[in-house]
Amino acid sequence: MSRLYQPSDYVVSKSRLPSFEQYKEMHKRSLEDPEAFWSEIAKEFYWQTPAEPGNFVSYNFDINKGKVFTKWLDGAVTNVCFNLLDRNVRNGHGDKIAYYWEGNHPDDYSRITYRKLKDLVCQCANGLRERGVTKGDRVSIYMPMILETVVVMLACSRIGAVHSVVFAGFSSDSLAERMSDCKAKMLVTADGAWRGEKLLMLKKICDEAIDKAEKKHGHKVETCLVVKHVDRVTPCGQLQEYTTWDDERDVWWQELIDEQSTICSPEWMAAEDPLFMLYTSGSTGKPKGVLHTTAGYLLYATTTFRYVFDYQDKDVYWCTADVGWITGHTYVVYAPLANAATSVLFEGTPFYPENDRYWSLIDKYKVSQFYTAPTALRSLMKFGDEYVKRHSLQSLRVLGSVGEPINPEAWLWYRQLVGGGRCSVADTFWQTETGGHVLTSLPGATPMKPGAAGFPFFGVEPALLDEGGQLITGEGEGYLVFARPWPGLMRTLYGDHQRYEQVYFSKFPGYYCTGDGARRDEDGFLWVTGRVDDMLNVSGHLMSTAEVEGVLTEEPRVAEAAVVSRPHPIKGEALYCFITTTDGAHFDQSLVDALKKLVRARIGAFAVPDTIQYAPGLPKTRSGKIMRRILRKIALNDTDIGDTSTLADPAVVEQLFKNRP
């Protein structure tokens, strides 16, 4: 049984929700009367047309009863950007710092107020309009962690364009596929970016991606808008050398945006109009364009941020996630701004110029809420406690974790050493699809257990189901599903509603299926146990085995590939690949190198496998299905493989154990 930690007196004394009883009461109320609960929060925002009472939420989760859909505040009209900026400026926050921006190099930093951010967003929105971007158009964004990234996302929201941010660690192939899938009219990028001592040639990757989009997918990107970022501080010959420039298509941000007017009328959007889309891995290998809409997402992002981080007026909040992932969307951009918060936006890495960069920034900006990923914590733990102890970290009150299950050792290190034993740890479970936190602890209210995601957020009704779809009540383990929508749930997969229904709603009609397993313990805590499908979580990056296998089999020397995950002390999981070769081909180091290079080129560096093993054959059932369960055991060198009687050729297993590199 794991130890229970209560919020410290310090955290409770500051908390807007200081007791477990209060949480339970509010959670109950949020389920009993969602309209009363969410309309209270909706009142804070500006509505061109408010939602009609009685029409607050409608949905169908039962695929057998017809089309699956969710609508919140149907009929209401608003604009998210207006609520994040104009409303806050009108409410007296114009001079408040929206972001402290910290560049890769410690000497490169700036700050921006809400008023100035509003001006820049309006200028950018006018620039986008000048290049023909209008309501409903898609804009792909491939950017480093700089203020312009936030600006262009909000500019899209101001004019009703749908942004599709692609993490700038993805390869040009991945970017091309994503831009073509959503038929992006414009691509926004920067000349380059430094990460630690490495220079990323972003414009060069975009040039390749635009070319591939046209040649491979028949999609033409009309405009490529480029922020002069690296050249701004360190004019860098290298970049010019590699970058091509197409005068028709390419335009410098500084030339298009800087002279625009700071007045830009917002596009008034229906509650269920798209706000943004974001690709996430799908188990078939083809990425899924998760679509979030306007009003519900705004309410949910706002509310989770307020309660999960217990953000209060003078606090400084920092989420280290890249804007290329959902965590960056909701908890770097939309939620903090909706709450008129002051945030840190950090371009660099935790390891540059030294391994204490995170801790030094917490002191520099007096950060009170710090939100990061277990993989980052584990990689920092290995440098020892000294780096942390050099800094005071007294400003911290709430620590957040996201992206993968956090192991108790990392949890304890986080709470005791980083948080000085006084901070609450919010282990937030959620997904690109959920828009915001769905299971979490709340700093002043809920008890915590190291490694448990805890309790449902307001409006969320989790359930555990067994294989047959029967509800598991009380203690037990099963499929983690949700019985009803909360406002931030995605509405569809872009251009493929059928896939949406099939992936998330067909296994258990009546429920949204997360694809994760979970366990409820004797105290009612929920523990997320990991994916139950063919997805892998490497350093908090979700990817599918099919996606990587598809790339490996592109190499002519490879006949078949099977990818499984192996636990990894820092990354959480690592990729372990089994390869059979085509007749006459040799498995040697050159093949391994070629395969790693191919994965890097097709997906991105973060997907490069740790291990590639030769397989004379793969363990398959008589019907030809690869038994991944056995491959996972081989990856672990665990000979306790259980029943192999269903295998077509059991001898192959012994061979594979022998061939382990």
What is the spatial distance between Cα 512 and Cα 539, in angstroms, rounded to a whole number? 25
Report if residue 402 touches ligand PRX, rule: CB under 6 A.
Answer: yes
Q: Which range binds ligand PRX by CB under 6 A, 71-79, 189-197, 403-411, 461-469?
A: 403-411
Give the residue with the Cβ less far from ligand PRX, 45 or 142: 142
* 8 A C-beta contact, residue 98 and residue 343: yes
Q: Beta strand pairing status for 541-544 and 535-538? A: antiparallel
The torsion of the CA quartet 508, 511, 516, 521, rounded to 10 degrees, works out to -110
Report if residue 310 touches ligand PRX, rule: CB under 6 A.
Answer: no
Sequence-ordered list of residues with C-beta below 8 angstroms from that of 639, at least 6 positions apart, any chain: 633, 657
For tokens 């979580």, the residue is 537
Q: Which range binds ligand PRX by CB under 6 A, 81-89, 176-184, 426-434, 633-641?
A: 426-434
Report if residue 15 touches ligand PRX, rule: CB under 6 A.
Answer: no
Report if residue 403 touches ligand PRX, rule: CB under 6 A.
Answer: yes
Report if residue 513 touches ligand PRX, rule: CB under 6 A.
Answer: no
Instruction: Give the bridge partners for 319, in sequence order.
Output: 371
- Binding flags for ligand PRX, 451-470, as an x/- string (CB under 6 A): --x-----------------
Backbone angles phi, psi at 339, to 5 degrees: -95, 10
CB of 448 to ligand PRX, least distance (A): 12
Q: Which range binds ligand PRX by CB under 6 A, 140-148, 224-232, 425-433, 615-623?
A: 425-433
With CB under 6 A as the contact rule, the residue among 123, 428, 539, 565 that binds ligand PRX is 428
Report if residue 432 touches ligand PRX, rule: CB under 6 A.
Answer: yes
Q: Which residue is nearest to ligand PRX (CB)?
A: 432
Give the residue with the Cβ less far from ligand PRX, 98 or 373: 373
Q: Which range binds ligand PRX by CB under 6 A, 228-236, 343-351, 510-518, 638-646?
A: 510-518
With CB under 6 A as the contact rule, the residue among 315, 516, 534, 549 that binds ligand PRX is 516
With CB under 6 A as the contact rule, the residue among 267, 315, 404, 573 that binds ligand PRX is 404
Give the residue with the Cβ less far from ligand PRX, 100 or 500: 500
Give the residue with the Cβ less far from ligand PRX, 235 or 524: 524
Report if residue 322 touches ligand PRX, rule: CB under 6 A.
Answer: no
With CB under 6 A as the contact rule, the residue among 254, 283, 312, 431 that binds ligand PRX is 431
CB of 481 to ligand PRX, least distance (A): 12
Per-residue b or e along 99-114, where b marks 16 or more CB atoms closer than 10 Å to that residue's CB: bbbbbbeeeebebbbb
Give the residue with the Cβ less far from ligand PRX, 542 or 634: 542
* 8 A C-beta contact, residue 133 and residue 251: no
Q: Strand, coil or helix: what is 267? A: coil
Give the residue with the Cβ less far from ligand PRX, 319 or 402: 402
What is the spatial distance between Cα 105 and Cα 102, in angstroms, rounded to a whole number? 8
* 8 A C-beta contact, residue 651 and residue 616: no
Report if residue 547 touches ligand PRX, rule: CB under 6 A.
Answer: no
CB of 439 to ligand PRX, least distance (A): 7
Selection from 338, 407, 354 nearest residue 377 by Cα: 407
Q: Which range binds ligand PRX by CB under 6 A, 8-16, 355-363, 399-407, 456-464?
A: 399-407
Query: How many residues of this chain bind ligand PRX (CB under 6 A)?
Result: 21
Selection from 446, 430, 449, 426 nearest residue 438 by Cα: 430
* 8 A C-beta contact, residue 333 and residue 150: yes
CB of 450 to ligand PRX, least distance (A): 12
Structural tokens at position 465: 């189901």
Give the residue with the Cβ less far from ligand PRX, 61 or 430: 430
Instruction: Give the bridge partners for 614, in sequence order.
Output: 579
How many residues appear in the chain? 661
* 8 A C-beta contact, residue 229 and residue 193: yes
What is the spatial distance between Cα 69 and Cα 446, in angstroms, rounded to a whole number? 32
CB of 453 to ligand PRX, least distance (A): 5
* For helices 589-602 and 172-181, angle between their N-to-C axes, nearest 10 degrees: 40
Report if residue 174 touches ligand PRX, rule: CB under 6 A.
Answer: no
Q: Which range binds ligand PRX by CB under 6 A, 205-213, 222-230, 512-520, 606-614?
A: 512-520
Q: Which of residues 268-287 bind ligand PRX (CB under 6 A)?
A: 280
Alpha-carbon 71 to chain mean position: 23
* For helices 172-181 and 202-217, angle between their N-to-C axes, nearest 10 degrees: 50
Report the alpha-carbon angle 322-395-374, nearest 5: 40
CB of 415 to ligand PRX, least distance (A): 15
Give the residue with the Cβ less far from ligand PRX, 120 or 536: 536
CB of 164 to ligand PRX, least distance (A): 15
Selection from 474, 473, 421 nearest residue 448 by Cα: 421
CB of 440 to ligand PRX, least distance (A): 8
CB of 321 to ligand PRX, least distance (A): 8
Give the residue with the Cβ less far from ligand PRX, 353 or 517: 517
Residue 403: which region, alpha, beta or left (left: phi > 0; alpha: psi -120 to 50)? left
Structural tokens at position 486: 């909360």
Report if residue 534 touches ligand PRX, rule: CB under 6 A.
Answer: no
Under DSSP, the state recorded for 601 is H
Q: Which range binds ligand PRX by CB under 6 A, 131-139, 397-405, 407-415, 501-509?
A: 397-405
What is the spatial distance between Cα 579 and Cα 549, in angstroms, rounded to a whole number? 9
Report if residue 514 touches ligand PRX, rule: CB under 6 A.
Answer: yes
Instruction: Give the bridge partners for 142, in sequence order.
Output: 189
What is the spatial distance between Cα 334 and Cα 174, in angstroms, rounded to a whole number? 25
Structural tokens at position 497: 């509603």
Q: Within the chain, how many helices (H) and strands (E) appear?
A: 24, 32
Q: Which range binds ligand PRX by CB under 6 A, 50-58, 204-212, 396-404, 653-661?
A: 396-404
Sequence-ordered list of residues with C-beta below 8 angstroms from that of 463, at least 6 positions apart, any chain: 471, 472, 481, 482, 483, 511
CB of 400 to ligand PRX, least distance (A): 9
With CB under 6 A as the contact rule, the residue among 73, 230, 490, 542 that binds ligand PRX is 542
Chain residues in the site for ligand PRX (CB under 6 A): 280, 326-327, 402-405, 427-432, 453, 514-516, 528, 531, 537, 542
